[in-house]
Amino acid sequence: MRRIIAALGIVAAAVAIPLVISSPAYALPTCYRTVNVFVTWGESTPEPVPSAGSTAASTSCLMGQGAQSSAVTRVQSTLNKCYGEHLTEDGIFGSLTKAALQRAQRAEGITGDGVYGPITRNHLLWWSGGYWGTGTPICGTVDQPVTVGWPGPQ
């Protein structure tokens, strides 16, 4: 009986160790909606960014290929308007959205891994919802002011 209990203990430990290792304490929730935060482009205006909840504090979330939500649509929209991409704004994080996000991440000087998270949120330019008189989309960041002059960000 002791051998059986000892064997079960070894099996349980062998199963539990990989589970602990593969579940980091810093894992973030999945972005599934948007919440308004201030996007700065010389003036501040509340605009939606991906979120895992209903407050600005819930914008530390993750999205990657396979995600489907309004948060994905918002990322696709900002990639189209602020980075010149031509994505279908369908809310599906497919291979084209991943590739476009990688290009935007590299353009902003961060690792182009194609995964949306807090670092990407803070570095991406976000579409403010408006356009300059020249038709150029007005884009800004959520973490720091962007100084722009007419006709807008280049």
Concatenating the DSSP letter of every residue in 133-151 gives TTSPEEEEBSSS-----TT
Write down the domain spans for the chain: 33-140
Residue 132 is predicted with a pLDDT of 81
Residue 2 is predicted with a pLDDT of 54
Residue 101 is predicted with a pLDDT of 97
Per-position pLDDT tens, the chain of length 154: 555 444 444 444 444 433 333 334 346 778 777 766 666 555 555 667 776 766 666 667 889 999 998 889 989 999 999 999 999 999 999 999 999 999 999 999 999 999 998 889 888 888 877 788 888 888 877 754 333 333 333 3
Residue 18 is predicted with a pLDDT of 37
| CATH 2.40.280.10 is the classification of domain 33-140 | no
Residue 12 is predicted with a pLDDT of 45
| pTM higher than the cut 0.75 | no
> How far apart (Å, rounded) are the C-alpha atoms in residues 96 and 80?
12
User: Is residue 112 within 8 Å of 8, Cβ to Cβ?
Assistant: no
Place of tokens 């976000």: 126
- Residue 105: count other Cβ atoms within 10 Å of its Cβ: 20
Residue 139 is predicted with a pLDDT of 82
Phi-psi region of 114 (alpha: psi -120 to 50; beta: other; left: phi over 0): left
